[in-house]
Structure 1
Amino acid sequence: MSRTRTALALGMAAAGALSLASVTASAAPLPVAGSTTVTPAGHAFKATLSGKATLKAGSVTVTCTVSVATGTVPAAPGNQNAAGPVSSPISAPTYSSCTSSMPGVTPTVTTSGAWTVSMQNGSPITATMTVPVGGLVVKTTGLASCTVTAAPTAAANVGGSWANGTPPSLTFTNASVPVKVTGGFGCPTSATSSTFNALYLVTDSTDPAQQITVGP
C-alpha cells in the first residue's frame, strides 16, 4: 500500500475512533443521586444557632447571635428516598440580637412563609435550605435606612452541609443568597446577592436521648 493510502487509512481510522468516543461520551448516563434516609421518622427537631450568623450584602454585614428554627422529620415512608434527598418543612428561622457593620445603624431581621430543608446522603452529606419568596427581610434604622429582601422574585435554595453527631450540625459556609436592596445613602443598592454563614446544632425534640441522623 502506498504511503498516501496508508496515511489516508490511518486518518479515517482515527476519525472513526474519535467519532465513536464522542458518541460514547455523549451517551454516558448522568449520575443518579443516592438513597437517603432521615431518622427517627416523624420526630420533631430544633436547630439552634451556635456562635453567630452573618449575612453580607455589598460592604455591609449583618451579624446575629440568636437564631432558632424547628421542624419535623417526615413520617415513614416519607423519611426515605431511594434516589434523592429527603425534605422536611421547617419554621421560618427567627433572628435576634443583631448588629450591623455600619456604625450608627441598627438592623432588624424578619422572616415569613414556608421554609424547607432537604438532606442528601453522600460524602459529604449535603443540605439545602429553601427560602420562600421574600421570606427574609433585613431593615436598618439610624444613619442609613435600608431594606434587604432575600429571594426577592423566586424561592432560593441555599446550599450547606450536614454532619451526623452528638448533636448533629447544619452548616452554611459562604452560601449565596439572591437579594434586592433598596434605600438611600449608605445602602448597598447595587448588590444582587449576599453570602450567608451559620452553624446550627440540631436536637431531637421528641426524644432528646436520640439524634437526628442522615444515612443511606
Structure 2
Amino acid sequence: MSVPRPRSRTRSCLAVAAVGALVLGWGGPALAEQQGPTTVEPAGAAFSAELVGSAIFTAGDVTITCGISLTSPGDGNNLVPDAPDNHNPDGAVGGPINAPNFTDCTTDVILVDATVTVSDPVWQMTMQNGSPSLATMVVPAAGIVVNTTGLATCTATVSPTADAPIEGVWSNGDPASTLAFDTATAVVVEGGFGCPNVDEAGFTATYAVTNADDPASPITVSG
C-alpha cells in the first residue's frame, strides 16, 4: 500500500465535518416561511422515523454514507399531541422526539474511522402544513459530536453554542409518510495538524415516518 499524500489528511478531516451533518442535516437555509393552520393525525399516535436507503453527507470532495438512522417512541416522546392540541389554527404542531441514532457509516477516505455521539437524547420536532409542508427538528446546542481516528484526530461539534433548527419537506403517504432533507448545516471542527477550518457540510436523506401504534393508519399533516 502506498503512503497517503498530505492531501489525504485534509480530506480525512473534511470527513469529520461531513459526518457532523448527521444532525440531520439539518440547519441550512430555511425554506419559505410558512404560517396558517396545521393538523397532525391521528391524535395521540406514537411514531417512528427510519432512514430509507442511505444518508449521504458531503464536505468538499469527501462523501460519507450511513446506512442506519432511526428514532422510535419511548419515555413519552415521539407522540402526536392529543386532541385538541394536534391542531393549531395559527401555526405548527409539535413536541419532543427521541434523538435519532446514526450507525453503519463509511467514508470514501482510506484509513479514516468516525464515531457519532448524540450528546442530548431529546430533540424537538414541529410540523407545519403548507406548500410544501415542513417538518423542523431542533437539535440542542452541541447535541451531536463527531470524532475521527486514523490519519488525523479531530472533533466536530454541531452548533456548539445554540440550538440548531433543521428543516425537511414532509409528504403524506400510506402507510408511511416521508420526510426528506437536502440541506447544509454548520459545524465547528477542532483538533491538531490536518484539521481544517471547515464550517459547513451538506446532508441528503429521506425518512419513512410510520404510526408505531397502528401502521395501517398513517401519520399525516393537513390544514
* Normalised TM-score (structure 1): 0.80
Q: Would you say how many aligned residue pairs link Structure 1 and Structure 2?
A: 184
Partners of 1:62 and 1:183 in 2: how far apart?
20
Partners of 2:136 and 2:160 in 1: how far apart?
18
Please tell me whether the aligned partners of residues 48 and 211 of structure 2 are also in contact (alpha carbons under 8 angstroms): yes
In the other structure, the counterpart of 1:96 is 103
Q: Does 1:150 align with 2:152?
A: no
Q: What are the Cα deviations for residues 145-201 of structure 1, in whole angstroms up to 9, with x where unaligned?
A: 12111121100011111000021001101x2212111123443x3112222211100
In the alignment, residue 129 of structure 2 is paired with which amino acid? N
Please tell me whether the aligned partners of residues 34 and 128 of structure 2 are also in contact (alpha carbons under 8 angstroms): no
Question: Which structure's relative contact order is higher, taking Cα pairs within 8 Å and 6+ residues apart?
Answer: 2
Please tell me whether the aligned partners of residues 32 and 83 of structure 1 are also in contact (alpha carbons under 8 angstroms): no
In the other structure, the counterpart of 1:33 is 35
- Structure 1 gap segments, 5+ residues each: 1-30
Residue 51 (structure 1) shift: 1.1
Please tell me whether the aligned partners of residues 92 and 112 of structure 1 are also in contact (alpha carbons under 8 angstroms): no
Q: What are the Cα deviations for residues 22-59 of structure 1, in whole angstroms up to 9, with x where unaligned?
A: xxxxxxxxx97110000011111110001111333455
Secondary structure (helix, strand or coil) at the match of 1:72 reads coil
Q: Does 1:86 align with 2:67?
A: no
In the other structure, the counterpart of 1:67 is 69
Q: Kindly name which structure, 1 or 2, has the bigger radius of gyration based on alpha carbons.
A: 1
Q: What are the Cα deviations for residues 130-157 of structure 1, in whole angstroms up to 9, with x where unaligned?
A: 1111111111111121211112110001
Percent identical residues: 49
- Structure 2 gap segments, 5+ residues each: 1-32, 73-77
Alpha-carbon spacing, 1:59–1:149, altered in 2? closer, same or farther (3 Å) = farther
In the other structure, the counterpart of 1:24 is none
Please tell me whether the aligned partners of residues 34 and 130 of structure 2 are also in contact (alpha carbons under 8 angstroms): no
In the alignment, residue 214 of structure 2 is paired with which amino acid? D
Alignment RMSD, CA only? 1.7
In the alignment, residue 215 of structure 2 is paired with which amino acid? P
Partners of 2:66 and 2:43 in 1: how far apart?
31
Q: Does 1:126 align with 2:128?
A: no
Residue 106 (structure 1) shift: 0.8
In the other structure, the counterpart of 1:48 is 50
